[in-house]
Structure 1
Amino acid sequence: MTKREEYETRAEKMLEPLMEENGFELVDVEYVKEAGQWYLRAYVDKEGGITLDDCELVNRAWSDMMDQDDFISEAYVLEVSSPGLGRQLKKDKDFKRSIGEEVDVHFYQGRKLPAGRNGKEISVKELTGVLLAYTQDTITLETEFSPEYEIMRKDISSVKLTINF
């Protein structure tokens, strides 16, 4: 387990009782370096949507917990946020909750897909479709190219809920 994974796992375990106590869902925890600064970030949600006051409540309680058991030696910023409209799907529970929703899938490398009118193939680095199913190894989308298009998860760099305006 990497240092990053260890910190994220410990933070998740630390936050679980607080989430249960307040009826919140811990969507994700990440430990990332951005612009030379480390961030320990929790994404939380609840039925009906998370509020700024909810995020503040979690941040204050979590900050107190980290003061007591600070397992991270380097300087970091502690943040609590909502997952946002275009949330990334990472865990099985995210995929399960999003069955029937439109998602944007980004690939590590371009993929060949049949193009409409002229029948030629096109190469795409992203694809939008309705999430039909998932397994540990694959996701299945309904796309404009196929009613059931199966994609290996190892070929996917990210899956996010589509934001339609």
Structure 2
Amino acid sequence: MNNVVEAVNELVLPILEEKNFELVDTEFVKEGNDWFLRVYIDKPGGIDIDECVFVSERLSEQLDITDPIPQAYFLEVSSPGAERPLKKEQDWENALANHEYIHVSLYQKLEGEKQYQGFLEAMDEESITLKIRIKTREKEITIPRQMIAKARLAIQF
């Protein structure tokens, strides 16, 4: 599976660089009986449907030529949406610079919880610090990075 993602990334990156788009994530997953190749792209100000179609058509042409995926699959090119995942270090740096509200899922409980939402206040190589709200009071919590299973931007209600 990783070989498929790597091969697709090599094909899609030149297409994205041509338009100054960013590759957010690529996944190749089986859901039920079907395989899905999902490519998430973005740019400052957001990506629109016409830009997704452009990348999808160009990538599809390249996939037909190189044929790196032996089984049948569905290709989806889309925006990561408002709750964009934080995967690369640059994603984390942007979230910190913009003082983003994020959701973090942990591998194991920390202070009795496996999920936290709050504003990203600080980070370094070892940990992140979130400002969270518990009922009516605010608190900062420091989370070791190795405990983070997934992280994404979140919408605050």
Instruction: Report the counterpart of residue 133 of structure 1 in structure 2.
Output: 122
SS of match in other structure, 2:87: coil
Query: Does 1:84 pair with 2:81?
Result: yes
Report the RMSD for the aligned CA atoms in angstroms: 1.7
Identity of matched residues, %: 39
Instruction: Report the counterpart of residue 35 of structure 1 in structure 2.
Output: 32
The number of residue pairs the alignment matches comes to 151
CA–CA distance in structure 1, aligned partners of residues 76 and 50 of structure 2: 14
Instruction: Report the counterpart of residue 118 of structure 1 in structure 2.
Output: none
Query: Does 1:108 pair with 2:100?
Result: no
Contact 2:104 2:151 in 1 (8 A): yes
SS of match in other structure, 1:59: helix
CA-CA distance at 1:20 after TM superposition: 1.2
| Max Rg structure | 1
CA-CA distance at 1:162 after TM superposition: 1.2
Deviant stretches of 4+, over 3 Å: 133-137, 144-147
2:144 corresponds to which letter in structure 1?
A: M
Within 5 A, what are the aligned runs for 1:3-22? 4-22=1-19
CA–CA distance in structure 1, aligned partners of residues 44 and 120 of structure 2: 21
1:69–1:135 CA distance, 2 compared to 1 (3 A): farther
Structure 1 residues without counterparts, runs of 5 or longer = 113-122
For normalisation by structure 2, the TM-score amounts to 0.87
Query: Does 1:155 pair with 2:133?
Result: no
1:6–1:134 CA distance, 2 compared to 1 (3 A): farther
Structure 2 residues without counterparts, runs of 5 or longer = none
| 1:84-129 Cα distance to aligned partner (Å, 9 max, x none) | 00111111111111111111111222222xxxxxxxxxx2221111
CA-CA distance at 1:136 after TM superposition: 4.3
